[in-house]
Amino acid sequence: MRFYGKQELRILVVDDDRELLDNVEDHFTAAGFQVLRASTGAMALELIHRVQLDCVVLDVGLPDQDGFDLCAQLRADSAIPIVFLSSYTEEEKRIRGLSLGGDDYVCKPFSMRELELRVRARIQSRGVQRPAAVHTFGPLVIDTGRRLVRYGDREGDFARIEFDILAFLAQSPGRVFSYEQIYDGIWKEPMGRSRHNLQARVASMRQRLTDLCGGTNYISTVRRKGYAFIPPE
């Protein structure tokens, strides 16, 4: 984790709502952050390529381009944490944002304190290092050191959080993990109202894994309890 000056973390907030930008900047500045602002995707890209950042808070609806498309551009060459802001509440919108590499999804209207906690958690989780391990289940190999998922001679393409959830479940095959246990294990914070984000992430991860494994389903949903990694017998 990197700090600036008096322990300041540097974030970029991308939104075309000037009042929202003012409110976010006021809150995060008071909380000890250094805040940069951009009202368009072009401005955001220019700052991201020029300035070293700890997190990007990104609105989905920008005047010059889709925030999802901007996220995909960033993920081509950067692992910087991205927290989406959006008035969209539909599950498919959350799944799309998270599957493109976003780290979290906050629906408007939101509390500034919640947004701050989510940003801090995303920055903190980026620096968490877990012991490397290789989990092998027949043709499926999950290598946490190389962050690689391979099925036979094919490699999967998983977003960072998707891989972390898969590796977390695969470390204990057959064990049912509650939503809270998964969220706490991956994001290192109480789940609060974030169950839908977790469900969207698991859904995206499961689809990618099933596609990679030729239709074989390794992730089981246990009604009202959580999820388990179940290798086929």
Mean pLDDT by 10-residue block, N- to C-terminus, for the chain (233 residues)? 53 95 96 95 89 90 90 79 82 77 86 92 68 88 92 92 91 89 67 70 93 95 91 85
Domain boundaries 134-229, corresponding CATH code: 1.10.10.10
Model pLDDT, residue 1: 37
CA–CA separation, 158 vs 160, rounded Å? 6
For the chain, where do the domains classified as CATH 3.40.50.2300 start and end?
9-126
CA–CA separation, 19 vs 130, rounded Å? 40
Smallest Cα–Cα separation from 44: which of 87, 1, 18, 73?
73
For the chain, where do the domains classified as CATH 1.10.10.10 start and end?
134-229
Instruction: Cis check for the bond before 109: say yes or no (omega within 30 of 0).
Output: yes
Model pLDDT, residue 2: 41
Model pLDDT, residue 51: 84
- The tally of CA atoms less than 13 A away on the side-chain side of residue 155 is 5
Domain boundaries 9-126, corresponding CATH code: 3.40.50.2300
CA–CA separation, 199 vs 94, rounded Å? 10
Model pLDDT, residue 130: 55
Q: Is there a contact between 233 and 186 (Cβ–Cβ < 8 Å)?
A: no
Q: Quick one: three-class SS letters along the chain?
A: CCCECCCEEEEEEECCCHHHHHHHHHHHHHCCEEEEEECCHHHHHHHHHHCCCCEEEEECECCCCEHHHHHHHHHCCCCCCEEEEECCCCHHHHHHHHHCCCCEEEECCCCHHHHHHHHHHHHHHHCCCCCCCEEEECCEEEECCCCEEEECCEECCCCHHHHHHHHHHHCCCCCEEEHHHHHHHHHCCCCCCCHHHHHHHHHHHHHHHHHHCCCCCCEEEECCCEEEECCCC
Strand order in the sheet with 226-229: 176-178, 226-229, 219-222
Start-to-end Cα distance in the chain: 42
